[in-house]
Chains A and B, each alone.
Chain A
């Protein structure tokens, strides 16, 4: 019987290809071909609108995006060699633009902008970026992923543990937690803009009410210090239900007999979680971590609807920049280069995650 069965499976390869055909075709058409095109465009000067022919420009798009430089600023000295001290007791430094704009002695820094810096004795060490907006988008995205991936998976797990109990009306809670997932992210973003409104937003009103009027209203999306956090909180809330359901599926796959055995052995709740539940969720955990990481890297809609990357680039992200450049700025080559970099980053991180969480 056995060889027969495997033979019958193989003899139907045509049917197999036919059935997967439509999906493969669509994936090729809408994922693989565009990506290969983007890869090619990132080495050219392709424009969205232009009568000029496309030219091959090598890696200059990537050099433009990733270019960094360093500059050491010495404090200004008076004629007698003493340091100039301003009224507030601070040393005064020359402006960065004196070095980065049309200065023949600093050709390699031309057009760069200050990214960050630190004090070194009396001097200031500055790191300059050729494309500051891209660098901010890159760091913001990494920050978003670093906060959202662990936090969202943890909260989703806690919710899943909560709703996995056999209580009356538990389905109501399951629905409530899952509801934001089915609402379009654009609609959710629009609604949360009202919640975060600096003048009469729900959040400010609530905090003022709870603090008996002590709380000073904050312009959540208009303040560079709070804007990214506002996006993070809202994003976690919106997508947490989805991962909760995956956790729940994992939880319900754990055989009840294991829990019964643990009960017989007199295990505490924590011990049951540590030695039964958690090992049983291994594969689920890997899946969730990879999925959340990839989703977090794709942060776009919330930014597009709520902040447009502002204020002061505090919510710029890679996907938002790719879309902005490719479409709004008509610079397909620049947008493609960002997409390729993003792809390489996500691929690397996913491979590392797979390696770290592999079956040993």
Chain B
């Protein structure tokens, strides 16, 4: 009996001291990409490399499906159970930073040099998150279709104008060869609406909220420019140029490849598959210019550190480790996303000079505009989505935009103008 307790004590001591001398401090990380084996392999690759590169930290990964990820983080934050490292959708970051879920990164000087602006998440002049990639949206078309209907190939310098674009839709519709001339992806009723369609509004000269103060949407979302946008938006549906809000997800995914839709407004994450199906017939064109320059949305998923993390230095060290060009390039090759730096782009198959997706890098660099950087964005996005759905379904344009404006203003007022808590 006695020898047993001595043995136990010895074991306990040796574990405690031995652990202190050799074990690495555990860091947990949450990631939104459950279900994608490609992403899991990539992330796990980085984690293995990091854990092996030093003796201080040991990162372990927990994955969530994207649809449940934000809810999980919010629930964990309320319960005080956040991991050390989280990933966060760029436009949502200010909300979490404002709520006190996240803390600024501790990156070394110059760590973010050369990064695409959309990959850096700044709120209140501090960097809270950084992405290994950015995403971009482009107009997918087939060269053969453009040639057949004598449609000019737009360039970054000379994008389609509004008149030109409307005319193209009209021509494609009149040809009768397609079910719809354009697929906007109305089936994807999540963050896609504000991400993909707010740039049209920006190009018309409107916005989701007045960006000088972020305290009102009046005049931005229901001003003349926004109403003009709304009427154009509605015309797409009344003219049957695009499928409506009840579009089937399957049609959205395969419609362009099958030839049901002549054009498609879609993100670069489907580019790899589209290239595989259509080969070099597919081209990725810049957004049309509706008066205030062509725009697309910037910022995708990014990495940040939870406010409750006991080891922010270790968490930041991991994030900085992950920012190496080879990892940026690996993610790009794996899922087609835009590498966050030019250096990394040169290492990739698709974004290197002459690569099939090179156009996206230029799009991201030149046209990307961030969604409003404010904690209120989360609510603004919902109201914008509702207004666009209602207008597409035939609601009065002015009334729908007024309603969204009022709701956004009420939300901002309810939150003390989203002032940063003292």
Contact = CB atoms under 8 A, between A and B. Distances in A.
B394 A219 contact: no
A96 B403 CA distance: 12
B277 interface: no
A96 B78 CA distance: 42
Contact of A311 (B393, B402, B414, B420): B393
* Interface SS of A by simple majority: loop
B389 A330 contact: no
Nearest to B393: A311
B421 A219 contact: no
A329 B411 contact: yes
A243 interface: no
Nearest to A334: B414
Given A199-B251, A327-B71, 8 more contacts: A50-B99, A50-B415, A51-B421, A97-B399, A111-B406, A113-B399, A113-B403, A312-B393
Contacts of B45: none
B74 A49 contact: yes
A224 B393 contact: yes
Given A52-B421, A113-B399, A199-B251, A329 B246 contact: no
Nearest to A306: B246
Interface in A221-236: 221-222, 224
Interface residue tally on B, bucketed by range: 35 or more
A154 interface: no
B415 A52 contact: yes
B100 interface: yes
A224 B78 CA distance: 38
A51 B99 contact: yes
8 contacts: A49-B101, A114-B399, A132-B403, A222-B393, A311-B246, A312-B393, A312-B394, A328-B382
B248 A97 contact: no
Contacts of A51: 98-100, 420-421
Interface in A122-164: 132
Contact of B246 (A45, A97, A114, A219): A219
Contacts of B416: 52
Contacts of A132: 403
B403 A49 contact: no
A49 B390 contact: no
* Interface SS of B by simple majority: helix
A104 to B, nearest CB: 16
A132 B386 CA distance: 13
Contacts of A114: 399
B78 to A, nearest CB: 8
A327 B70 CA distance: 11
B414 A221 contact: no
Nearest to A101: B402
Contacts of A310: 245, 389-390, 393
Contacts of B415: 47, 50, 52
B414 A45 contact: yes
A331 interface: yes
A295 interface: no
Nearest to A309: B386
A330 B380 CA distance: 12
A222 B411 contact: no
A291 interface: no
B389 A311 contact: yes
A224 B248 CA distance: 17
A310 B395 CA distance: 11
A69 interface: no
Interface of B: 71, 74, 77-78, 95-96, 98-101, 189, 244-246, 248, 251, 378-379, 382, 389-390, 393-395, 398-399, 402-403, 406, 410-411, 414-416, 420-421
Given A49-B95, A49-B99, A132-B403, A311 B379 contact: no
Q: Which 6 A-B pairs have the closest CB atoms?
A: A222-B246, A51-B421, A311-B393, A49-B99, A312-B393, A111-B406
Nearest to A328: B382
B246 A330 contact: no
Nearest to B378: A330
A330 B383 CA distance: 13
A114 B395 CA distance: 12
Given A132-B403, A219-B244, A97 B389 contact: no
Contacts of B100: 51
Nearest to A48: B74
Interface residue tally on A, bucketed by range: 20 to 34
Interface in A49-66: 49-52
A75 interface: no
Residue among B77, B246, B378 with most chain A CB within 10 A: B246
Contacts of A97: 398-399, 402
Nearest to A102: B218
A284 interface: no
A308 interface: yes
B372 to A, nearest CB: 16
A222 B379 contact: no
A327 B378 CA distance: 11
Contacts of A48: 74, 78
A144 to B, nearest CB: 20
Contact of B411 (A49, A197, A311, A331): A331
A329 B412 CA distance: 12
Contacts of B378: 330
B394 A222 contact: no
A49 B394 CA distance: 34
A222 B245 contact: yes
Contact of B379 (A101, A113, A308, A330): A330
A280 interface: no
A313 B395 CA distance: 10
A352 B382 CA distance: 38
Contacts of A327: 71
Interface string A194-216: 00011100000000000000000
Interface in A339-360: none
Interface in A17-62: 45, 47-52
Nearest to A49: B99
A52 B74 CA distance: 16
Contacts of B398: 95, 97
A330 B375 CA distance: 11
A71 to B, nearest CB: 14
Nearest to B414: A45
A197 B74 contact: no
B411 to A, nearest CB: 7
Contacts of A308: 189, 389
